[in-house]
Structure 1
Amino acid sequence: MTHTNRRQFLAAGAAIAGAAVVSPLAALADSPKKPIIRIAVKYGMIGGSGSVREKFDLVKKIGYEGVEIDSPSGLNLKEAVAASQATGVKIHGVVDSVHWGKPLSSPDAAVRAEGLKALLGAIRDAKVVGADTVLLVPGVVNKDATYEQCYERSQVEVRKAIPLAEELGVKIAIETVWNNFITKPEQLIQYVDDLKSPAVGAYFDCSNMLKYGVPAETWIRKLGKRLFKFDFKAYNTDKAKSENNEWAGFKVEIGDGSENWPEILTALGELGYDGWATSEVGGGGEARLTDIYKRMAKVLGKA
């Protein structure tokens, strides 16, 4: 071997050896981050007549890490806290259960006052049970409220609740639903940002928003750190079209919808999402809740 060929041979060998060392690290650096997602269930989905503790024991046995409760409701909060502490099942959130009946967008000031009272109560209940969010549908666009009126009226009322939320360390999470109000990510971004408080953000529903044509992963990427939590179900656009019924799209099981979950998970990973995914479908007893859990775990890559 000539001196020149030997030098070339050694250089090539060094390059190959270096590639063997660097490539795995480079591949690891380029691999997408995985979101940290905890699986939860709405407390109202837990069927049967058992005690609060027995229901917490059941979801713990199945594998759920958390529950989300309604406020107001008939649930004894003291019992719920005790059951949570005993089982380790976190009460991670509270749903304002009055927001549809007493919308903050109502033209009636008395109705808006009742809606605000319920929101304040939900924030206080969240503090009691150790939850960090209150899910809120801020209003409804209908014959009683245009988009602009819904926006203006609800913003006024939500602002009244922000001081209490900030004081108690509870966040108000604006949910995306079929209320004819927020149908584009830019609208939700504006709604949250106009309130100018870190105590207000988004509670996203990947399935609800398929109706409006913008992919869930696009919503997630645009919302960024405004995204606090998300609900979990399924919506099949083909089924809705074939039956000529928008609501028929929900008549599928988790995992059988039109959601692009791999891309959704990629988008959540890009955000560094570390939080909850809560099932919002028809509940039942142990068999039904187990099936829901397994479906969620499979979709989320946790099976």
Structure 2
Amino acid sequence: MKIATDLWHRRGHSIADELRLIKDAGFDGVEFTVSEANENLPNVSDRGYLRIEHIMDDARELRKLANDVGLEIHSVRSGLLWRYPLTSPDPAIRDRAIEIAERELEACSLMGATALLIVPGVVTEDVPYDVAYRLSQEALGRLSRKTEGLGITLAIENVCNNFLLSPMEFARFIDELNSPAVGAYLDVGNVMDCRVGYPQHWVRILGGRVRRVHIKDYSIGLRGITDLFNGDVNWAAVMKALRDVGYDGYLTAELHPFNVAYELYFRQLAERMRMLLTL
């Protein structure tokens, strides 16, 4: 397995310096997040480098800069699918979501990324569960037909969206799409944060459907996400389950860095993730 992190933006710092810092800390790869150009971003943010309005120009620049420092761009997060859900009751928003995902796939192809993280939809008071299921499958079916042959996985993530609330349903959902281009982006911390069980069980049930893994810990006492090894995730069981199902892809940290001692944070995080690989 290899280790990666989301790219975090510090206002006033160059992209090249940020990528070099990640590489020097000991990471093998990086994951970018798609945003809109007009987003009001904090001083430290994981958004802003890959703008949907300029996505191909940004993708070209990021590919060159990552190649220059020796980082693999293995994945892209489609962060805008919270704002434009595939399951919106408004067909215009659903069409916009499809358009965004298609542009993101083009960017993935240009950068050499082999996974696009997809939020499959959101169940709300106005969007019942069965309606969300149908709309999500319709949208992902359309996208999968365009993705097959590109070597890119539509990696559906388990997120706190009131949807796909068990590993058995998640597996069935993927199987019903019946496409080699569709898999799971398993977020270890989200399993516990969303109160839907234990991540090692999700790994074993999803099996070979797992195409990417997000790493973060969860504290039962604090009822929230924590830094790696500061929570209650049974990492030894998770890592054993990943090996048992044959997973050999990226483990990507999705954790907020320190607001100060930024460089120290990434060095420590990479060291912890390397330790994780030994469990």
Cα deviation, 1:101-133, whole Å, max 9, x if unaligned, reads 000111110010011111111111100100000
Whole-angstrom CA distance in 1 between matches of 2:13 and 2:222: 36
Unaligned runs of 5+ in 2: 36-47, 51-57
Q: Pairwise mapping of residues 60-99 of structure 1 onto structure 2 (< 5 A)?
A: 60-72=23-35, 73-75=48-50, 76-99=58-81
Q: Which residue of 1 aligns with 2:273?
A: 296
Q: What corresponds to 2:4 in structure 1? A: 40
Larger Rg: 1
Corresponding residue for 2:42?
Answer: none
Q: Secondary structure at the match of 2:222?
A: helix
User: 1: CA distance between counterparts of 2:166 and 2:186?
Assistant: 12
Q: Deviations over 1:254-274 (max 9, x none)?
A: 101111111111111111211
Distance 1:94 1:130, change over 3 A: same
CA contact (8 A) 2:153 2:182 kept: yes
Which amino acid letter does the alignment assign opposite residue 56 of structure 1?
L
TM-score, reference length from structure 2? 0.87
- Stretches of structure 1 lacking an aligned partner (at least 5 in a row): 1-36, 241-248
**2:18 pairs with 1:55:** yes
For the residues of structure 1 that align with 2:238 and 2:125, how far apart are their CA atoms? 35
Task: Report the CA distance between 1:97 and its aligned residue.
Answer: 1.9
2:168 is aligned to 186
Q: Which amino acid aligns with 1:226?
A: R
Write 1 or 2 for the structure with the bigger share of strand: 2
Deviation at 1:66, TM superposition (A): 0.4
Give the deviation of 1:182 after TM superposition: 1.4
What is the distance in 2 between the residues matched to 1:232 and 1:46? 19
Q: How big is the shift at 1:213?
A: 4.6
Aligned residue identity for 2:25: I
For residue 51 of structure 1, report the CA deviation from its aligned partner. Answer: 2.3
The alpha-carbon distance between structure 1 residues 48 and 40, as it changes in their structure 2 partners (threshold 3 A), is farther
Q: Give 1:170 deviation, angstroms.
A: 1.1
Are 1:267 and 2:241 counterparts? yes
- Matches of 2:142 and 2:274, distance apart in 1: 39
Whether the 8 Å contact between 2:213 and 2:251 is mirrored in structure 1 is yes
Please identify which structure carries the higher helix content: 1
In the other structure, the counterpart of 2:41 is none
Q: Which amino acid aligns with 1:220?
A: V
| RMSD of aligned residue pairs (Cα, Å) | 1.5
Q: Deviations over 1:56-110 (max 9, x none)?
A: 2111111011000123554322221112222220000011121100001111100
SS of 1:212's equivalent in the other structure is coil
Check the 8 A contact 1:137/1:174 in 2, yes or no: yes
**Structure-to-structure mapping, 1:157-176, within 5 angstroms:** 157-176=139-158
Superposition TM-score, scaled by structure 1 size: 0.81
> 1:237: which partner in 2?
220
CA offsets 1:184-224 (integer angstroms, 9 cap, x no match):
00111111011110100000011111143522111101111
Summarize deviations over 1:235-287 as a string: whole Å, max 9, x none: 111222xxxxxxxx22x321011111111111111112111111111125212
Determine the C-alpha separation between the residues in 2 that align with 1:227 and 1:275.
9
For residue 267 of structure 1, give the secondary structure of its aligned residue in structure 2.
helix
Question: What is the letter of the counterpart of residue 188 of structure 1?
Answer: F
Shift of 1:146: 1.1
* Alpha-carbon contact 1:46-1:289 (below 8 Å) kept: no
Per the TM alignment, residue 140 of structure 1 is displaced from its structure 2 partner at its CA by 0.5
Residue 106 of structure 1 is matched in structure 2 by 88
1:217 paired residue among 188, 196, 200: 200
1:38 partner amino acid: K
Give the secondary-structure state (helix, strand or coil) at the position aligned to 1:122: helix
For these two proteins, the number of residue pairs brought into alignment is 256
Partner of 2:251, secondary structure, is strand
